[in-house]
Amino acid sequence: MQTNQKKVALVTGGNTGVGFQVAKALADNEYVVYLGARDLRKGEKATAEIGTGVKAIQLDITDSDSITAAAAQIENEQGYLSLLVNNAAISHAGKAGRTLEEILGSQRASIASIDEMKTVWNTNVFGTLAVTQSFLPLLRNAAAARIVTVSSALGSLSLNSNPDTPFRSGFDAVYGASKTALNGIFLSLAIELERSNIKVNLVSPGFTATALNNFQGTDTVEEGSLEPIRVALAEDIPTGSFTGPITSEGDNSVPW
C-alpha cells in the first residue's frame, strides 16, 4: 500500500444533479474521478462538460454484472479507491410527470404499491449497499479511504417522530423510509469499520430541486450540493457523522 497515493474517487449517479456537482468539485481538487452513469453516453456527455480529471464509467447500481465490471475496471486501472460517493437514488417508480404532491400522496403506507416500494428500495438501499460491498476491497487498498453516502434528513426517525417538524407529513413508506433504512445500514457499516482505514459519513443535501422531486425543491442544485461537496472533500470529519445544510442556529448535524 502506497502512502503517497493520488486520490481516486467514484461517484454513482454522477451525470446529473448533486452527483454531477460533487464529481466536478472532486476533479477541480485533483482527484481522478470515475463518474458512474447507467447510460454511458450520458456519463460521457457529463464528463465532457467537466473536462479533465474525470472519466465516465457504466454503472447501474441495481445490476450486479454492471457493478462487478465497474469494480474490475477501476481495480485494473488504479488498484485502489480513495473515495466512494454513493449518490445514485430514485424517489419513485410510478407514472412520470406527476407532481411531488401526487407522488407523496401515492406513497403513504396504507396505499403504497409494494412493487413500487421494492423498486425504490432496490436502488436506494440494496443497490447502494451492493456497490459499497463490491468496492470495499479497493477502499481497503487505499492508504486512507472514505465512503460518503448521500441520504436525506427526511429519513430521520428523530425528526419525523417530532410533531413540530414541518416536513414530517412528507415522510412516506417508499422514498422516505428507504432513506431511514439506508441511514441504519451505513451507521452499522461505520461501527463495523471504525477501527479500519475507511471512514463512513452520511450527508443530506436538503430540499434540493432535482429530478428526485420533479425539480420542486426549494434550493438550487448548486446550493444543495454545498454540504455533499464539503463532506466529500473533507478528510478530517470523524467517521459515523450525519450532516446537512447549516441551520439558522449554526448547526448542521442531522439526528438519526
Catalytic residues: 175, 179
C-alpha cell recorded at residue 173: 413508506
DSSP H stretches of helix in the chain: 17-28, 40-50, 64-77, 100-106, 114-121, 128-140, 157-160, 175-193, 221-224, 226-233
Residue of 229, 221, 62, 32 lying closest to 150 (CA atoms): 229
Q: Which residues neighbour 96 within 8 Å (Cβ) at sequence distance 6 or greater?
A: none
DSSP calls for 199-218: EEEEE---SB-SGGGTT--S
Sign of CA dihedral 18, 24, 27, 33: positive
- Between CA 227 and CA 165 the distance in angstroms is 21
